[in-house]
Amino acid sequence: MRRIRPRRSPAVPLLLVVFAGAAGVIWLWWSNTPSLADTASKWLAAGRITGLLAGYLMALVVLQMARVPALERRVGSDRVARWHAMSGRYTLSLVVAHVVMTMYGYALQAGLTFSDIVQQTVDSINQLPDMGKAAIGTGILVFIGLISMGPVRKRIPYDLWYHVHLLTYAATFLTFWHQLSTGNEFVVEPIAKTVWYALYGTVTALVVWYRILTPIRLNMRHRLRVEAVIEEAPGVVSVLMSGRKLHRMGAEAGQFFRWRFLAPGMRFSSHPYSLSAAPRPNMLRITVKAAGDHSSALRELEPGTRVWAEGPYGALTAGKRSKGKVLLVAGGVGITPMRALFETLPGAAGDLTLLYRANSTQDLALWDELASIAEERGARLMYAVNSPEGERPDISPDSLRRKIPDIDEHDVFMCGPPGFAQQVYEALRGAGVPTRRIHHESFEM
């Protein structure tokens, strides 16, 4: 039970491959760029390189949406989501720069001024092949970028943002063709065109396989249905789901699925929730706190309701572990993946400790289960709740060292709201826990 097989993160090799691809794109541009004799040529060359890099990054943006298991389970869904957001910002910036610099270069060639760039853009859309589709795709990308900005994103419903975000696929398709028909590099270099087709073809195949065919296969094979809905604490319910051969789904404690419940008003909503218990051959369970329309509606689910699941996703699993002793830290409903790990992580008596943070003892969902697991496994179970006067408990480097003197010899898994996670992270670092042994993953995306 104490045998540990930590997985190596492929993040660094993947980033090296990405940068190598970008270097290849720059080399392609450089080798096909003649001497720049005038200002117009310089602007057009700048427009070409920004366009090439935007096209390359757009393929990566879509790849990061493909739910490829090697990324989702090994790198981590939250890190992939951050890569996707960052790549999207760079892509949109490069696309805008490409349009402005290219149109300005064309305007200079025609003897026009910067103020005539709008007319030049309209002429290019009407005259050049595939530019109409590219203009529509660019407009979609700008729209997605605007609604993904922090202040806007917080004000729109999650389901609306999620479904609009899927228009990235349409934008990529629409902007792809003008790259080949108007891009000088692809016109003069047939090998470059073949490589570009291979890049986009591979990404398309991964999207079709993992976003469409794999979920269809999973749900046809396992046929999930709601078995029961149980209230665990004020505003917190567990949804039990039955199905066929669920142990063959490949799910691990600490992972999550995207769940779509085929009930009135919920069919078009897909939300991520962690497993709150180790997967059983005929049963899965999630535990959810009411925090919005979708999560609040779960308590009304009727037994027998069909469930559409996508996953499993996430890298917050036993494979992250590198030490014999483990501290699990949960904040609020973040107890769900921690409860599953508390039950399944290998360890002898005294190896496992769970710290559960909640506002009050009434909010300690699944507490009876946790106490039973702790007694059975010889694990340590602690909670931190507000005082009757509302004073928050002390979670600091000193308090952690008092409670767990050898905390710097632990791996730490934690899950909870962003502010709580940041506070605990800083306390753990102050208590001497290395960053590489602090494991946290957010699946709110």
Same domain as 329, residue 300: no
Q: Is residue 4 part of a domain?
A: no
Q: Is residue 1 in some structural domain?
A: no
Domain for residue 445, yes or no?
no
Q: What is the CATH number of the domain that holds 288?
A: 2.40.30.10
Q: Is 408 exposed, middle or buried (0-12, 13-18, 19+ CB in 10 A)?
A: middle
Name the token pair of 81: 């989501």
Query: Do residues 100 and 67 share a domain?
Result: yes
Residue 114's H or E segment, with its range, is: none
- Which of the listed residues 313, 340, 358 is the one where a domain comes to its end? 313
The maximal CA–CA distance of the chain, rounded, in angstroms, is: 82
176 and 149 co-located in one domain: yes
Encode pLDDT of 388-397 as tens digits.
Answer: 888 888 899 9
Q: What is the pLDDT along the chain (445 residues), one digit of tens a residue?
A: 334 444 455 567 788 889 999 999 999 999 888 777 788 889 999 999 999 999 999 999 999 999 998 787 777 787 888 889 899 999 999 999 999 999 888 888 888 766 677 887 888 888 888 899 999 999 999 999 999 888 888 888 888 888 888 999 999 999 999 999 888 888 888 899 999 999 999 999 999 999 999 999 999 999 999 999 999 888 899 999 999 999 888 899 999 999 999 999 898 888 899 999 988 999 999 999 988 788 889 999 999 999 999 989 888 888 888 888 999 999 988 899 999 999 999 888 889 999 999 998 888 999 999 999 999 999 999 999 998 888 888 899 999 999 999 999 999 999 988 888 889 999 999 999 998 899 987 655 4
Task: Look at residue 22 and give its three-state secondary structure.
Answer: helix
The alpha-carbon radius of gyration of the chain (Å, integer) is: 26
Domain membership of residue 5 (yes or no) is: no
Do 53 and 175 reside in the same domain of the chain? yes
User: Which of 294, 313, 332 is a domain's end point?
Assistant: 313
Whether 229 and 213 map to the same domain: the answer is: no
Domain membership flag for residue 328: yes
Q: What is the sign, positive or negative, of the torsion defined by CA atoms of 184, 186, 189, 195?
A: positive
Same domain, 77 and 181: yes
Q: Is the pTM of this model over 0.85?
A: no
Kindly state whether residue 421 falls inside one of the protein's structural domains.
yes
Please state whether beta strands 236-242 and 225-233 pair in parallel, antiparallel, or not at all (unpaired). Answer: antiparallel
Burial class (CB in 10 A: 0-12, 13-18, 19+), 245: exposed
Assess whether 156 and 41 both reside in one domain.
yes
Domains in the chain, number: 3
- Report the CATH number that the domain containing residue 353 is assigned in CATH: 3.40.50.80
Q: Which domain holds residue 233?
A: 223-313
| Residue 2 within any structural domain of the chain | no
66 and 193 together in one domain: yes
- Among 193, 218, 243, the domain-final residue is 218
Residues 109 and 240 in one domain: no
User: Both 159 and 297 in a single domain?
Assistant: no
